[in-house]
Amino acid sequence: MANLPTKFSQFLFEQSTEKEREWLEEKVKSNVLDLMTAFVAAPRFLSKKNISYDSKFSGSLVPEHPGFEVDGWSFVRLARVWLLLHIPSGPKEQFLKNIETLFDTAELNELVALYSALPLLAYPLEWLPRATDAVRSNMGFVFDAIALRNPYAELYFPESAWNQLVLKTIFNGKPIHLILGIDRRRNKELSIAVSDFMDERSAAGRRVPIQVWRLMGGASDEVLHSKLIPLFSSESKLEKEAAALLAFESKDPKIRSLLANEPDLELSIQNGDLDWSKLESIPE
């Protein structure tokens, strides 16, 4: 299969026993129906372990998608994605039908594997309705599979769907920094929605997760300015740091000048000691 990354296979086989490798290799030599069945049957033939991650593969499993990480996946999920990449992509109509059938008959863990594979499958735009559906899903694991560490949304979601994904991640209390492209796809609409959300929370006497602030970078200078003043005087160290980062990123002199009162923070940003990743909460 042409678009199957070599390192992906290499990594999979490093995790497999000899018997598992034989089973996997035999299945991909088989006909499509057997291959699809193998996708379902994988837990009957493969170990249920979680894969141990080796840093040498970090960011390189799929070279064109450096954000595609499989850390913390189950071995079965990894194998299922690999099996999917062997379904012949032509003729197109047949390929679409095969993948749709797997979606229609999938149970939870199969759905997770299917969504994980979306950025690697042929005809990526065809999966857009499925992908936006997954964002609407109540199934936590399915949502995570499309929203976190998955390059698909950044690449193919239109702005409104992208913003929904980000907002829902915030609402679900999930780590937004695991959304690939979260900084690259900042936009004004999203900043407005996030700003409203923060107002709502503060009216209810609640704080927002600190990471949410990074999304405010796309807001208008005026809105940002009005938000940053109270944030700089917050008692929370994290909130002050977030304010400093936003001010530092801004091109507006009035906003930049807010940083003048916080020379220590400015210095640590300049030195690269403070960036958004330092404010990340540890994902569960």
Interface with another protein by CB under 8 A: which residues? 33, 36-37, 40-41, 43-44, 101-102, 104-105, 107-109, 137-140, 142
Nearer to another protein, 102 or 165 (CB): 102
Shortest distance (Å) from residue 231 CB to another protein: 33
Nearer to another protein, 129 or 158 (CB): 129
Shortest distance (Å) from residue 138 CB to another protein: 3
Residues 6+ apart with CB under 8 A from 180: 67, 149, 150, 151, 153, 154
Nearer to another protein, 134 or 244 (CB): 134
Shortest distance (Å) from residue 108 CB to another protein: 7
Nearer to another protein, 137 or 234 (CB): 137
First to last CA, the chain: 35
Shortest distance (Å) from residue 110 CB to another protein: 8
Nearer to another protein, 47 or 234 (CB): 47
Nearer to another protein, 101 or 257 (CB): 101
Nearer to another protein, 37 or 187 (CB): 37
Shortest distance (Å) from residue 101 CB to another protein: 7
Shortest distance (Å) from residue 260 CB to another protein: 47
Assigned token pair, 263: 């020379």
Shortest distance (Å) from residue 3 CB to another protein: 24
